[in-house]
Amino acid sequence: MELTSMIATNKDVEFQQICYTVPIRKNFVQEIGRRTLLNGVSGTFRNGELSAIMGPSGAGKSSLLNAISGYRTSGVTGYKKINKRDSCYITQEDHHQPLLTVEELMHVACALKVTSRKSHEVLITEILENLNLNHRRNATAECLSGGERKRLSIALESVANPTIFFLDEPTSGLDEVTASQCIQLLKNLAKSGRTVVCTIHQPSATIFKNFDHIYVLAKGHCVYQGEPKAIIPFLTSIHLDCPKTYSPSDYIIELCDSNEGSLISSLSEITQNGKLEYTQINDNEHTIGTDEDSLALSNYRWKNIITPVYLENSKQSGSLGCIGGGFALLEKMKAFSKRIKQDSDSVSGTRQFLVLLHLMMKKILRNRIALWIQFIHHLMCGLMFGLIFYKAANQGERMFDHLKYCIGCILVIVYTQVMVPILSFPMEVKLVKKEFFNRWYSLTPYYMALTISRLPLQIFFNMIFLSFTYWMSGLPNELWRFMLFSSVGIITSFVAEGMGLAIGATFSITNGSAVGPLLIAPFLGLAIYGFDFAADIPALMYALMKLSYIRVGAVTLVLSVFGFNRPELDCNEMYCHFSDPKVLLRFLRVEKVSIWHEFGFLVLLLLFFRVMLFLSLKKRCRT
Ligand SMILES: Nc1ncnc2c1ncn2[C@@H]1O[C@H](COP(=O)(O)OP(=O)(O)OP(=O)(O)O)[C@@H](O)[C@H]1O
C-alpha cells in the first residue's frame, strides 16, 4: 500500500492510540473489570474543515469526542495534540440559564470572556447576525426552539473566538431543514478558519455532502477516515459495492451495525485504526487508467495523517499528552508562551465573581413562581407552628411541648433547605461543568458567588418563619433573645443547605433524592434520641449525638429559649416541676453546655459541608 504523510498544524486536532475504558461494577459498587469503549484509535481533524464522527448507536462517537476534547479525562489514555485553551465544547443538551434573554446571556459571556475595550454590543450584534439569531435577542432561552438553542450555544462560545469547536450531536432533535441549516452554519464556521468536529448519528445525503472529513467508528474502532465522496471508491476497492439506491453514509453504518465482527476488524486494520486517511490524489499524481472504474479507484490512495516525529515519540511515552523529545519541547514552549499571554489577558477572579453574583441574583429574582412558593411555604409553616404552640411558651406544665417546639422548628428549617438543592442543583452542575470546561470562569469565583447570592433570600425567608413562630408562641418579648433564636435557625439552615448542595453536586437528581433522606435519617434519629432520659445516655451515644447538626441546632435553640436566666414560667397546676427553666436544662443535661460552643460546632459543620461541596464540584468539573 502506497503511503504519503503530512504534518498537523497547531490548529489541527491530532490524536493517537486513544483508549477509553469505564469500570464494570458488581452490585453498583465493587469494580470487577473495565469495559473498553475506544480501542486505541488515531486520527486528525484539520483546520478549515468540518469533520464528522459517524457510526452506529453505541459505537463510541461521544466517547471519542469527550476524550479528545478533554471533556472526559478519567479512564482515557493515549496521545493527543490539541490547543485546549483555544477550543470549546458544545454539549448535546443545550444547557442555558432558562430565564435570561439571549442578549443578557451574550452580555454575561462577553463580561466573562472578553477583556478588550471593543464594545460588547457591537460584538454581540455581529455574532447574533452571523448566526441568524438577532431577531430573537429579547427572547428568554427557555422560549427558543431546538435549532435556536443550538445556535445560541454556538454564539455564546463564539464570543471568545475559539479556533476549535467540538459539538456533540448538534443536529439531534432538529428537523431535516433545521439540521441542514445547522450543518451549513458549522461549515461556514470551518471555512472562516476554525476546526469544527461534531458527532452525528446517521446524516441525510444533503448533510453528508457538506462534511469535509468523515471519521467512522464501529465498536470503538476506526473503520474509515477520509472525504465523504471517497467512501464508495473505498468500499468498492475492498469489494463491498454500495447499492445505487443507498446513501454511502447509510451503507457504511449498516455494514458496521451488522454484527459482522470480522468486517469491523478488517476495516480497522486497513485504516490502521485511524492512522490512515483515504484521499484523492492530486491532479498531477493521476495514474492513467484504462477503463472508467479503475480510473475512479486509482484516483484515491491511503495517506498517513499522523505526524511522524510525534508518532515516534508516542512510542516512548505512556500517558495522555505526555510527549517527549525536541518536537514536544517546542510544542510545550509555544503553548507556555501562549498561555502566559492569554492569562494576562483573561478576566480577573474578582470580575468573574461580580459578574456571576449579578447573574445569580438576577436568576433568583426572575424565578417569580419559585419565590412565591418559598414565601408561602415559610409563611404557612410559621403560622401553623404559631397556632400549634400558641401562647404555650410560658406554660411551665408543658415541658414536652417546649422541646417539640424547638425540635420541630429545626426540622422544618432542615428539611426545607436540604431538599431544594438536592432537586435543583444537579442540573446547574451540568451547566457549570460545561462553562468551566469552556473557561468561562474558575471554580472559586463561581463558588463564592453561589454562596453569597443565596444568603439574602435565605435569611429573609427563614426570618418570616422564625418571627411568626417566636411571637405567636409567646416567647419572651426580648429583642436580643429573638435575634439569638433567629441566628440559631439561620445558621442551621446554612448547614442544611450546604449538605443539600454537596449532595446535589455529587449525585444525579434520582440518586440524590434517595441519598438525601438516607443521610438525614441518622441525624434525625440522633436529634430526638434520649431527650426524656438524658441523664442515662451512654457516653458513646452522647458523642455520636454531637455529630448530628439537627441535634446541635435543637440544643442551641433550647439554650437560646431557656438559657440566659429566663424568669420562671407560669404554672396553672398545683406543681410544675419544670417551671424553672434551669430544671429543664438540667434534666436535658445541657445546663453546662455553652451556647457559643454549640454555635462554633454549627459553624464547623457548615464549613465541613461547604468544603465537601467545593471538592465535589471540582471533581465533577475535572473528570
Ligand atoms: N460511563 C459509562 N459506563 C458504561 N458504559 C458507557 C459509559 N458511557 C458510555 N458507555 C457505553 O459505551 C458505548 C459508547 O457510548 P457513546 O455514548 O460514546 O456512543 P455513541 O456512539 O455516541 O452512541 P449514540 O449515537 O447512541 O449517542 C455505549 O454502548 C454506551 O452504553
Asked whether residue 585 is domain-assigned, the answer is yes
Task: Please state, for a pLDDT cut of 70, what percent of the chain lies above it.
Answer: 86
Q: How many helices (H) and strands (E) does the chain have?
A: 22, 12
To the nearest 10 degrees (0 to 180), the angle between helices 248-256 and 261-270 is 120
Asked whether residue 29 is domain-assigned, the answer is no
Asked whether residue 388 is domain-assigned, the answer is yes
Q: Ligand 1 pocket: which residues have CB below 6 Å?
A: 22, 35, 37, 55, 57-63, 199, 201
Mean pLDDT for the stretch of residues 147-159:
89
Q: Say if residues 96 and 149 touch (Cβ distance below 8 Å).
A: yes
How much distance in Å is there from the Cα of 61 to the middle of ligand 1?
8
How much distance in Å is there from the Cα of 37 to the middle of ligand 1?
7
What gap in Å lies between CA 435 and CA 329, rounded to an integer? 30
User: How many domains would you assign to the chain?
Assistant: 1
- Minimal CA–CA distance to 10: which of 265, 327, 271, 296? 327
What is the band of 412 on the pLDDT scale with cuts at 50, 70, 90? very high
To the nearest 10 degrees (0 to 180), the angle between helices 102-113 and 349-366 is 160
Mean pLDDT for the stretch of residues 208-231:
90
Cell numbers linked to 114: 472578553
Asked whether residue 316 is domain-assigned, the answer is no
What gap in Å lies between CA 489 and CA 492, rounded to an integer? 5
> Which one is predicted more confidently, 303 or 117?
303
Please give the number of the atom of ligand 1 that sits closest to the Cα of 64: 18
Residue nearest ligand 1's atom 23 by CA: 58
Mean pLDDT for the stretch of residues 475-504:
93
Please give the number of the atom of ligand 1 that sits closest to the Cα of 60: 18
Q: Say if residues 61 and 199 touch (Cβ distance below 8 Å).
A: yes
- Minimal CA–CA distance to 170: which of 90, 87, 50? 90
Q: Is residue 375 pLDDT above 90, yes or no?
A: yes
The residues, any chain, with a CB within 8 Å of residue 439's CB and separated by 6 or more, are 85, 113, 160, 346
H/E run at residue 167: strand 164-167
81-126 per-position pLDDT tens digit: 888 788 899 988 888 888 999 999 999 999 998 876 567 888 899 8
Residue nearest ligand 1's atom 25 by CA: 57
Q: Say if residues 198 and 170 touch (Cβ distance below 8 Å).
A: yes
What is the band of 1 on the pLDDT scale with cuts at 50, 70, 90? very low
ipTM: 0.95
How much distance in Å is there from the Cα of 618 to the middle of ligand 1?
24
Asked whether residue 446 is domain-assigned, the answer is yes
What gap in Å lies between CA 137 and CA 123, rounded to an integer? 13
How much distance in Å is there from the Cα of 182 to the middle of ligand 1?
24
Q: Is residue 205 pLDDT above 70, yes or no?
A: yes
Q: Tell me the residue range of the domain where 439 lies.
A: 349-622
User: Given its phi and psi angles, is residue 590 left (phi above 0), alpha (psi -120 to 50 degrees) or beta?
Assistant: alpha
What gap in Å lies between CA 554 and CA 562, rounded to an integer? 12
What gap in Å lies between CA 214 and CA 277, rounded to an integer? 10
Residue nearest ligand 1's atom 10 by CA: 37
Q: Say if residues 194 and 174 touch (Cβ distance below 8 Å).
A: no
What gap in Å lies between CA 275 and CA 286, rounded to an integer? 23
Residue nearest ligand 1's atom 5 by CA: 22
How much distance in Å is there from the Cα of 78 to the middle of ligand 1?
19
Q: Which residues of 588-621 are buried (b: 16+ CB within 10 A; e: fewer)?
A: bbbeebebeebbebbeebbeebbebbbebbeebb
Asked whether residue 546 is domain-assigned, the answer is yes
> Which one is predicted more confidently, 538 or 219?
219
What is the band of 584 on the pLDDT scale with cuts at 50, 70, 90? confident
Mean pLDDT for the stretch of residues 376-397:
89
Q: Say if residues 34 and 23 touch (Cβ distance below 8 Å).
A: yes
H/E run at residue 548: none
Residue from 19, 35, 63 whose mutation best tests the ligand 1 pocket (most atoms within 8 A of CB): 63
Residue 326 has what pLDDT? 37
Residue nearest ligand 1's atom 16 by CA: 60
How much distance in Å is there from the Cα of 442 to the middle of ligand 1?
29
Residue from 26, 39, 61 whose mutation best tests the ligand 1 pocket (most atoms within 8 A of CB): 61
How much distance in Å is there from the Cα of 42 to the middle of ligand 1?
19
Q: Could you give the strand order of the β-sheet that contains 221-226, starting from the edge strand earlier in sequence?
A: 3-5, 300-304, 276-280, 221-226, 213-218, 50-54, 195-199, 164-167, 87-90
Residue 532 has what pLDDT? 59
> Which one is predicted more confidently, 130 or 454?
454
What is the band of 9 on the pLDDT scale with cuts at 50, 70, 90? low
DSSP secondary structure letter of residue 273: G
Q: What is the mean pLDDT of the chain?
A: 83
251-295 per-position pLDDT tens digit: 888 888 776 667 888 888 888 888 888 877 665 554 444 444 444
- Minimal CA–CA distance to 561: which of 382, 393, 391, 407? 393
- 587 φ/ψ angles, rounded to the nearest 5 degrees: -60, -35
How much distance in Å is there from the Cα of 101 to the middle of ligand 1?
33
The residues, any chain, with a CB within 8 Å of residue 233's CB and separated by 6 or more, are 278, 296, 297, 299, 300
Residue 6 has what pLDDT? 43
Alpha-carbon distances, residue 456 vs 450, 452, 464 (angstroms):
12, 8, 13
How much distance in Å is there from the Cα of 60 to the middle of ligand 1?
6
What gap in Å lies between CA 226 and CA 303, rounded to an integer? 9
Report the DSSP pairing between strands 164-167 and 87-90.
parallel
Residue nearest ligand 1's atom 4 by CA: 22
- Minimal CA–CA distance to 281: which of 306, 296, 301? 301
How much distance in Å is there from the Cα of 38 to the middle of ligand 1?
10
User: Rounded to two decimals, what is the model's pTM?
Assistant: 0.76
> Which one is predicted more confidently, 21 or 308?
21
Residue 284 has what pLDDT? 53
Residue nearest ligand 1's atom 30 by CA: 58
Residue from 24, 37, 508 whose mutation best tests the ligand 1 pocket (most atoms within 8 A of CB): 37
What is the band of 327 on the pLDDT scale with cuts at 50, 70, 90? very low
Query: Distance between alpha carbon 491 and the CA centroid of its chain, in Å?
Result: 28
Residue 399 has what pLDDT? 76
How much distance in Å is there from the Cα of 58 to the middle of ligand 1?
5
What gap in Å lies between CA 270 and CA 264, rounded to an integer? 10
List, in sequence order, every beta strand (DSSP E) within 350-418.
Answer: none
What gap in Å lies between CA 322 and CA 576, rounded to an integer? 77
Please give the number of the atom of ligand 1 that sits closest to the Cα of 169: 27
Report the DSSP pairing between strands 213-218 and 76-81.
unpaired
How much distance in Å is there from the Cα of 200 to the middle of ligand 1?
14
Report CA dihedral (370, 373, 378, 382) to the nearest 10 degrees: 170
Residue 74 has what pLDDT? 86
Residue nearest ligand 1's atom 3 by CA: 22
What gap in Å lies between CA 616 and CA 361, rounded to an integer? 23
**Sign (positive or negative) of CA dihedral 457, 460, 465, 466:** positive
What is the band of 318 on the pLDDT scale with cuts at 50, 70, 90? very low
What is the band of 298 on the pLDDT scale with cuts at 50, 70, 90? low
Asked whether residue 536 is domain-assigned, the answer is yes
Q: Is residue 531 pLDDT above 70, yes or no?
A: no
3-state SS string for 419-467: HHHHHHHHHHHHHHHHHHHCCCCCHHHHHHHHHHHHHHHHHHHHHHHHH
Asked whether residue 13 is domain-assigned, the answer is no
Task: Please state, for a pLDDT cut of 90, what percent of the chain lies above it.
Answer: 35
Residue nearest ligand 1's atom 6 by CA: 22
Q: Which residues of 155-170 are buried (b: 16+ CB within 10 A; e: fewer)?
A: bbbbbbebbbbbbbbb
Residue nearest ligand 1's atom 31 by CA: 58
Residue nearest ligand 1's atom 26 by CA: 57
